[in-house]
Amino acid sequence: MNNARATEPSKLWNADFVLLSVSALLFYLSFYLLLSVLPGYVKEIGGGAQSVGFVMGAFALSSLACRPIIGHLVDRTSKRRLVILGTIIFTGAPLLYWYAHSMPALIAVRILHGAGIALFTTASTTMVADLTPSAQRGEAMGIFGTTANIALGVGPWLGTALVSGSGFFGLFIAAAIIAAGSVVTATPVRDTARLLHAPQPIRGLSSLFSTEVLVPSIGILAVMLTYAPLITFLPLYAGYKTASLFFLIYAITVTLARSIAGRLSDTHGRRAVILPGIIIMAGSMAIIALVHGTVGVIICAVTYALGMALAQPALYAMAVDLVTHSRRGVAMGTFTAGFELGIGAGAIAGGGLVTSVGYAPMFLIAGGICAASAILFVKRQPAG
């Protein structure tokens, strides 16, 4: 056995953390390049609102199915290799979309693509916990999370421009090239695996799931039940240009707020920032449902971003706080499974609700479920 774990880093900004963050930025940019225009691609090949929900939800449900096993592997093998494998899948999957001209084929590609994000995000977030000081864990998670937020701000605009100028083929080629950049930048990152040896057999559910992180996992599930309907149906509800404006404002706001919010969770406790974050996000869903037009979209973008900046990094940090180092991979697998379950269920259920009751009631229902999850954090939980 080769013990690969070094002593805890003394500073947040180190070369490995920076390289991993750059890799994440490119990884998420490839993802968000497709996300806002993919519903239009589904409609172009003959799908309706329910089909959009299934196609978008298949990605998350595939990721959900993979995460427990990936979390088990993260604790027992090379995290860096899992990160790189995820980026390689993200490089190949966009090219397959061009050949997917039916719903079953498109869903199959989405399942493969979902496995890629499960590999990358489970392993990379665990590496962030290893690569940064524990006293700055909330801040580190906040900074690392801004890579996805920046990509969300740029990706939809760029994706829309590429479809307008080069069609969907140009879009898929660009997504593959950007993901290849993620492979290159992840390769030099120092591996943080505790033990570099062959993975041990899976023995019971405790090898795959962490009951210690149940509370933050339910919390992130509820948060993603609002996120999935927004990113999936906002382009159809408000139009692609207005939705791109939402994503840009959201990305700028959450990028500015996340590191500050992460530090607040380090100094004042996780619960103290998670609870108001959840309440703010629930309120923003009511805004998008009841305040029509561009004004409603802008207000929702700002408030939703503030809520997400408060809640998400603190939930990630809480999940790491609650387990020992040797269980971080399983904890992240369980926690991010809640993340993906929220996205998958939110997209699929959102499609059904849009068909049956319309967009505005769907947003209100998602916000109500999120608000109900605040009960979990009314009483103080362990580690914050």
- String of b and e for 17-50 (b: at least 16 CB within 10 Å)? bebbbbbbbbbbbbbbbbbbbbbbbbeeeebebe
Most confident by average pLDDT, 38-47, 69-78, 308-317: 308-317
More confident residue, 195 or 201: 201
Q: What percent of the chain has pLDDT over 90?
A: 29
The residue-averaged pLDDT of 23-51 equals: 82
Answer whether residue 75 shows pLDDT above 70: yes
- Least reliable range by pLDDT among 91-95, 189-193, 253-257: 189-193
pLDDT of residue 38: 83
Q: What percent of the chain has pLDDT over 70?
A: 91
Q: Read off the DSSP letter of residue 379.
A: S
pLDDT of residue 10: 60
Whole-number Cα distances in Å, 160 to 35, 103, 167, 276, 291:
10, 22, 9, 34, 25
State the pTM of this model: 0.70
Could you give the 3-state DSSP secondary structure of residue 40?
helix
Answer whether residue 57 shows pLDDT above 80: no
Answer whether residue 2 shows pLDDT above 60: no
The residue-averaged pLDDT of 108-125 equals: 90
Q: Kindly report the backbone phi and psi dihedral angles of residue 381, in degrees, each rounded to the nearest multiple of 5, phi listed first.
A: -100, 165
| Among 159, 183, 187, 181, CA closest to 172 | 159
- Least reliable range by pLDDT among 132-141, 216-225, 252-261, 311-320: 132-141
**Confidence at 24, pLDDT banded by 50, 70, 90:** very high
**Confidence at 85, pLDDT banded by 50, 70, 90:** very high
Answer whether residue 202 shows pLDDT above 70: no
Residues 6+ positions from 111 with CB-CB distance below 8 Å: 58, 59, 62
pLDDT of residue 368: 93
pLDDT of residue 176: 95
pLDDT of residue 312: 87
Answer whether residue 15 shows pLDDT above 70: yes
Q: Is 189 exposed, middle or buried (0-12, 13-18, 19+ CB in 10 A)?
A: buried
Binning the chain into helix, strand and coil, the percentages to the nearest 5 are 80, 0, 15
Could you give the 3-state DSSP secondary structure of residue 67?
helix
- The chain-wide mean pLDDT, for the chain, equals 83
| Among 340, 345, 314, 346, CA closest to 67 | 340
The residue-averaged pLDDT of 14-32 equals: 92
pLDDT of residue 283: 95
- Least reliable range by pLDDT among 16-30, 124-138, 261-275: 124-138
The residue-averaged pLDDT of 87-111 equals: 90
Q: Kindly report the backbone phi and psi dihedral angles of residue 47, in degrees, each rounded to the nearest multiple of 5, phi listed first.
A: -90, 155
Answer whether residue 203 shows pLDDT above 80: no
pLDDT of residue 207: 58
**Confidence at 161, pLDDT banded by 50, 70, 90:** confident
Q: State how far the Cα of 297 lies from the Cα of 285, in Å rounded to an integer.
A: 10
Query: Are 39 and 235 contacting, i.e. CB atoms less than 8 angstroms apart?
Result: yes
